[in-house]
Amino acid sequence: MRRDLLRRAIMACVALCLAGATAPPDSPAERYGPLFEAVQSARLFDDSKTFADAIPRESPDAIVAAYRADPPRDVAQLRAFVARHFILPDEARPPRADTLAEHIRSLWPQLTRPPHSVTPAGSEIALPAPYVVPGGRFREIYYWDSYFTMLGLKADGRADLVESMLDDFESLIARYGRIPNGTRTYYLSRSQPPFYALMVALSDSDSPRLMARRLKGLRAEHDFWMAGAACLDTSGRCARVVRMPDGSLLNRYWDDKATPRDESWAEDVETARKSGRPLPETYRDLRAGAESGWDFSSRWLADGTNLTTIRTSAIVPVDLNSLLWILERSIAARCRAAGDETCATRYEGLAARRRAAIGRYLWNATDGWFGDWDHAAQRLTPILSAATLYPLFAGIATPDQANRIASVVRADLLGPGGLRTTRTDSGQQWDAPNGWAPLQWIAVAGLRRYRHNALAADIATRWIATVDRNWKATGKILEKYDVEQQRPGGGGEYPLQDGFGWTNGVTRALMACYPPSNDSEQRPAAPADCSLSYH
């Protein structure tokens, strides 16, 4: 009993004490309670995120009191109540241009938001500097999206926005001890794939003050991801840390809460109800899937198909651990540059141990690809995904491993319109036939690192052609595409979004390396000095 109480205390410290000096504000679900549940249960809006992003016209306490005093008796009255007491978010329409590159350039001002304070009772988190949002329902800055957006900003000469977005992320780390999923109070219990080290590498600044501040931020992010090492028990798992069979430590996706997500409340309640599992367990796995950015994918599903079998917290993912290896190497290099050899040696050791564990547990030597480890079953999962290219992107793979992965990618993941996310058509949006901009970039940069230039060029030019073809047909740049039919993508919990930050960024950066050709059969290799970020 005492050991259990001690473990709970340590986990509370992991969730709160290490999160930084600022206590997280309440999310809309916590703030509005029964009103929030009523609105989401009634599915008052097509998108659950709409009400989560609404701004109250008066204090939340007054709204809740009004709701309790005279509860709406039907959906019409509930809709009227919401209209009286809340301001709903608007969506701006993007302009139209003559070429795809011009259209992307014209979108940056449309997607840029100024520094601002926010309505205290709303769910948005204030930021100190200008930033770029993805677009559509995604009205705030998102963590891993922003790295891929920054690639396009760099290509279009907007280094000012790269620097200001880095300022925003540093501010979030200083306040919360992490970079949250996005800048809403309901995102503070989780992060997203840790691309901050790669963002910092895009900076042109050589200011010693800035370098020191960013190194502090990198170390704080590493502390966040590794905090669970303090509470590991016989299960071998705590928070975001997993002990592997040989005692080495790798990481998983997690969320500090085990309740329905505010932005997908009705969907989560339904999934958990159908799962037949303890509700908090299902909610936690759904939230962990959201932290992964792959929400959702057969990678996290026990049966590879049904969302009710989600078990994200049991999976040790290859992409996450590749990014944490990059983070550890980045910290070591920056500590050495600052003259701190003790720090440099420590993080070099952490990186070396992580690399060895990735090679030992996440490499499928039989089939020739990197995958995810099922900690519960103590074996690799059977799902081949585009995440197999992350060790190439990071530089962890051996040349032989890279050669085998290149063969698998060409045979199993390359579609007519770009790189497939997986081979599995589950109906989830992070599965076949969908392709996503960030995965195209990871693949192209990773394959070029290992001199598979022709395959890299093939993926890049197929993707650019897909985006251009759909833009000419619809005037929109979309968050995802069906790379088998070269049309808008499908699946997911919400309607297909246009805008769209990371598709703009990756496509623009790839176009700088692989200019579109009128000859659809031409697959040019990028020039040797093509600016692909290797960190």
Catalytic positions are: 295, 479
Assess whether the previous peptide bond of 296 is cis (omega < 30° from 0). Answer: yes
Task: Check if the beta carbon of residue 260 is closer than 8 Å to that of residue 272.
Answer: yes
Phi, psi of 478 (to 5 degrees): -110, 160
Task: Check if the beta carbon of residue 435 is closer than 8 Å to that of residue 463.
Answer: yes
- Alpha helices for 112-236 (secondary structure H): 143-155, 159-176, 196-201, 208-226
Please state, in angstroms and rounded to a whole number, the distance separating the CA atoms of residues 96 and 165: 26
Q: Which residues pair with 301 in a beta bridge?
A: 310
Strand order in the sheet with 241-243: 237-238, 241-243, 249-251
Phi, psi of 480 (to 5 degrees): -155, 160
Which of 106, 87, 88, 86 is closest to 96 using CA atoms?
Answer: 106
As a whole number of Å, the CA-based R_g of the chain is 23
- Alpha helices for 299-340 (secondary structure H): 318-337
3-state secondary structure 368-413: CEECCEECCCCEECCCCEHHHHHHHHHCCCCHHHHHHHHHHHHHHH
Which of 424, 318, 416 is closest to 374 using CA atoms?
Answer: 318
Helix (H, G, I), strand (E, B) or coil at 286: helix
Q: How is residue 475 written in tokens? A: 């005037």
Task: Check if the beta carbon of residue 186 is closer than 8 Å to that of residue 24.
Answer: no
DSSP state, residue 231: G
What b-and-e string marks burial along 341-355, b requiring 16 or more CB atoms within 10 Å of the CB? eebbeebbebbebbb
Tally of CB atoms within 10 A around 214: 23
The alpha carbon of residue 79 and the mean position of all alpha carbons in its chain are separated, in whole angstroms, by 33
Please state, in angstroms and rounded to a whole number, the distance separating the CA atoms of residues 354 and 332: 14
